Amino acid sequence: TGKVPEDILLVDDVRDIWMRDFTTVNPMQPVQFTYTWASMTQKQSKEVQKSFSQFADRYQIHRAKTDLMLDGGNFVDDYAGRVITTTRFMQDNELSYSEAKQKLKNTLGAREVAILEPDEEVLAHSDGMVSWVDQNTLLVNDYSKIPSFRTTVMDELKASFPTAKIVEVPVEYKTNPKGEWDGFESACGVNLNATVTHNNIYVPTFNMAHDQQALMIIKQNTFKKIIPINTESVCPMGGSVRCLTWQVTGDNAVKLIQAARDR
């Protein structure tokens, strides 16, 4: 069904809801980057990541660590060596375009890396722009309303992943009503902020007109099961399904499942 069993719910003290950003990337070979502070103070971001590090150490979560600064939301990969980030990674680490690509290849063992111009400047995360639904199919927001930006994004993706199938998916942006969630950049309307697992894709929906077309295109381009999740209540805060999730597999997953069942 794609549902998580009730008995593996592990309640713990981690200081932020956006688990994607300050945890680890790539469940196959986990790496913990240094969390940036685009949406909070430097002190707050350190406290948030420290709360995760203490949690991960407590359960003996195996992971490599790097001083490179990166939010997990600005890292989209196919779990097989193809990685997408934005120019924010270059800025945060004071690297040139070619240096940034090489750093990611060296740190992660990546084969191919794309560095996109972000579609918004607050968080500048790639996971609001693209999603690998399998090892050779990449979904990207349809930016045809901004032709020059679309060209920039598509050129970088095609140059970086010459053999990948690239499919555009409709996107609509919704701004928060005045006086509601001031200071937050809404993520409502971005269906590609999806959590992709071996067998399922958990796709955020927003009760918006383009949802059904987006779901249809995603279904047509993967053999995985599509599980829509209504995220109207959380997307005004700037994230949805992928932002809320941290993915683990293998021994790390077994440790967490066992810890939950032992409680």
Query: Please, what are the domains in the chain?
Result: 14-258 (3.75.10.10)
Instruction: Give yes or no for a contact between 182 and 226, defined as CB atoms under 8 angstroms apart.
Output: no
Question: How crowded is residue 96: how many other Cβ atoms within 10 Å of its Cβ?
Answer: 9
Instruction: Enter the DSSP assignment of 250.
Output: H
Q: Is the pLDDT of residue 142 over 90?
A: yes
SS3 89: helix
pLDDT of residue 3: 82
Neighbouring CB atoms inside 10 A of 219's CB total 15
pTM: 0.95
Residue type, 243: C
Mean pLDDT, range 95-124, rounded to an integer: 96
Tell me, what's the pLDDT at 128?
97
Q: List, for residues 209-248, the tens digit of each pLDDT value.
A: 999 999 999 999 999 999 999 999 999 999 999 999 999 9
Q: Are 30 and 61 in contact (CB under 8 A)?
A: yes
Length of the chain: 263
